[in-house]
Amino acid sequence: MWIRFLLAAIVAVLGVLSLGAPATAQDDGEGGDGGEATESVSGTLQTRDEEGERIFLEGVTFVVFDSEGTEVGTAVSDAEGVWSVGLPGPGTYSVQLDEATLEDGVSLRNPERNPLENVDVQPNTNKATLFPLGERATNASSTLKIAQLVVDGIKLGLIIAMCSIGLSLIFGTTGLTNFAHGESVTFGAMIAFMFHMVYGAAADFEFFGLFKIWSNGRLFGVPGTNSLVFAGIVAVVLSGISGWLFNEFVWKRLRNRGASLISALVVSIGLSIFFRYVFLFQFQGRARFYRDFQIQSQISFKYFAVAPKDLFIIVFSIAVLAGVGLALQKTRAGKAMRAVADNRDLAESSGIDVESVIKWVWIAGSALAGLGGVLFGMTENINWEMGFRLLLLMFAGVTLGGLGTAYGALFGSLIVGVFIQVITWPAWFPADMKNVGALAALVLILLVRPQGLLGRRERIG
């Protein structure tokens, strides 16, 4: 019976995700039947800042010429750096980037290849082109740069902490190392994107033709329901429900059948791979962004500058984590969670309903992971493997702080977040290697203190 419930739950989740799948059919824009072959040339313009993070350039103009030098069309890159020009047919074209429209401090890495010649476009295809850019120039002093990196590291560390608290508590209460926790982060980010962009942009959406759920981009016509705030709330709620479903129909069944932790570990790896490629299938491999709070002017302080959305992420994350800490310390449920994580057998003999505690740990941990995914999507981008990339940092923070403790996850995540940003300060250290540096530092620290910074020594044997 429970297998049927599990299959129904998985089908329901995939059905929700399929509503956010990108359309594959293209409108020809002239009222045609869509059966004619279409050709185009396109690209994505991006560079990296001094911290190694990707930056997509908006407002850059591209001009396409045919083989005879006649201008075919122009396009301007959007907020995601994407541009596209429709072509009259297959053939050989050239593409020129208007360097005057580039931002200050950004230049072409190979200016001699502008315009890009001999772009061969086959029938009914979209030809992708590439214009490599150099890193954005900066004249900041070393002190200002370090201060900026520390602030960025604190922001990243707080997001990692929010995502990893559930991972740590799940390990503490069940002993499971959940490799699928990263997909809970991706799930929250993509559910928020779906409600924010797909439904928010839709004119209306009917429930089996009976009544309209979304009308003029609003849920039941209520104003404000296409905002990122509303989408984030929906993402957190659905993430919590997904945690309850997986505990009820997967992990609880495995525990009741006496499955070993190694078996549960293998199941979590399989679920991680499965849902990662479900996300890839539904949302494709292209990076996506939330419409709200995308382009903002930075607020300058004495030694650093932050965008308003980043300042909100820092303050909001501190408030949420402080609330989680108070709940663990003061509430009855929080004390029960800490008791089960500390000693499950003793907690059960004291009258604590261990299964109920584990259920709420899965709900709260998955909801926090979904919220962390929304915040991570606000500061970077949304893609199918964002949770998997963050999972390694979550493991590093949890292990560094001390396995099974929420406070250890918070403390270790902050250290990891700051470290991987500050380590990029020397010019000789490649930004793409910063995550590797964090894991190397983790190994070194655990060689000195295997139980983690806030963990306790345990007797073995």
- H-run or E-run covering 240: helix 228-246
Q: Work out whether strand 204-207 and strand 126-128 pair parallel, antiparallel, or are unpaired.
A: unpaired
The count of C-alpha atoms lying within 13 angstroms of the C-alpha of 193, restricted to the half-sphere facing its C-beta, is 29
Q: Which of 147, 132, 161 is nearest to 317 (CA)?
A: 161
pLDDT tens-digit map of 74-104:
898 887 788 889 898 888 898 988 887 887 7
Predicted local distance difference test score (pLDDT) of residue 412: 87
What's the rounded Cα separation, in Å, for the pair 438 and 410?
16
Task: List CB contacts of 404: < 8 A, sequence separation 6 or more.
Answer: 168, 169, 171, 172, 341, 455
Nearest to 365 by CA among 74, 125, 162, 135: 162
DSSP per position, 110-146: -GGG-SEEEEEE-TT-EEE----BPPPP----HHHHH
Torsion of CA 18, 19, 24, 30, to 10 degrees: 170
Tokens found for residue 317: 């994350």
Beta strands 299-300; 305-306: pairing state: antiparallel
Query: How many Cβ atoms from other residues are within 10 Å of residue 69's Cβ?
Result: 7
pTM over 0.75: no
Residue 120 is which amino acid? D
Structure tokens that stand for 265 in this block: 């570990």
CB within 8 Å of 164: residues ≥ 6 apart? 394, 395, 397, 398, 409, 412, 413
Rounded to an integer, what distance in angstroms lies between the CA atom of residue 387 and that of residue 287?
A: 13
**Can you give the pLDDT at residue 379?**
85
Q: Tell me the pairing of strands 39-44 and 126-128.
A: parallel
Which residues neighbour 281 within 8 Å (Cβ) at sequence distance 6 or greater?
none
Residue 138 and residue 148 in contact, taking contact as beta carbons nearer than 8 Å: no
Tens-digit pLDDT profile for residues 216-257: 555 555 555 567 888 899 999 999 999 999 999 999 999 989
What kind of architecture, by CATH, is found in domain 142-448?
Orthogonal Bundle (1.10)
Kindly tell me the sign of the dihedral angle through the C-alpha atoms of 351, 352, 354, 355.
positive
Distance CA(375)–CA(236), nearest Å, equals: 11
Residue ranges in the chain whose pLDDT is less than 70:
1-37, 49-54, 105, 134-143, 197-226, 294-296, 404, 426-432, 455-461
| pLDDT of res. 200 | 47
Question: Which alpha helices (DSSP H) does 247-351 contain, by range?
Answer: 252-256, 261-283, 308-330, 332-342, 344-349
Dist CA 221 CA 193 (whole Å):
19
Q: Closest by alpha carbon to 13, among 187, 266, 227, 271?
A: 187
SS3 208: coil
Tokens coding 399: 């292990």
In the chain, what are the domain boundaries?
43-85+132-139, 142-448
